[in-house]
Amino acid sequence: MRINSGIYWVSWANINAKNSKSLDDLASPFKENVTEFINALKDAGASVRINATRRSQKRAYLFHWSWLIALGKIKPSQAALETGVDINWNLGDDSSSVQAAKEIVNGFGLAVPPHSNVAPSLHSNHIIGKAIDMDITWTGTVNVAKKDGTKLNVHYTNNARNNPELLLIGESYGVYKLKTDKPHWSYDGR
CB 173 within 8 Å of CB 40: yes
5 binds Zn ion (CB under 5 A): no
Of these, 31, 55, 102, 184, which contacts Zn ion (CB under 5 A)? 184
Of these, 133, 160, 166, 177, which contacts Zn ion (CB under 5 A)? 133
Residue nearest to Zn ion (CB): 184
Nearest CA to 130 among 172, 189, 173? 189
Rounded to the nearest whole angstrom, what is the least distance from the CB of residue 189 to Zn ion in the complex? 12
End-to-end alpha carbon distance in the chain: 37
Answer whether the bond into residue 29 is a cis peptide, omega within 30°. Answer: yes
Which residues neighbour 178 within 8 Å (Cβ) at sequence distance 6 or greater? Answer: 184, 185, 186, 189, 190
The pair phi, psi for residue 13, each rounded to 5°, is: -65, -35
Residue nearer to Zn ion on the CB measure, 52 or 74: 52
| Residues facing 88 on adjacent strands | 4
Rounded to the nearest whole angstrom, what is the least distance from the CB of residue 160 to Zn ion in the complex? 13
Residue nearer to Zn ion on the CB measure, 102 or 126: 126
Per-residue binder mask for Zn ion (CB under 5 A), 61-100, x = binder: ----------------------------------------
Rg of the chain, C-alpha, whole Å? 20
Which residue type occupies 159? N
Containing H/E element for 77? none
Residue nearer to Zn ion on the CB measure, 109 or 140: 109
- Please choose, out of 17-25, 103-111, 130-138, 166-174, the segment that lies near Zn ion by the rule CB under 5 A: 130-138
Rounded to the nearest whole angstrom, what is the least distance from the CB of residue 100 to Zn ion in the complex? 29
Residue nearer to Zn ion on the CB measure, 116 or 153: 116
Which residue type occupies 115? H
Rounded to the nearest whole angstrom, what is the least distance from the CB of residue 110 to Zn ion in the complex? 16
List interacting residues with Zn ion (CB under 5 A): 133, 184
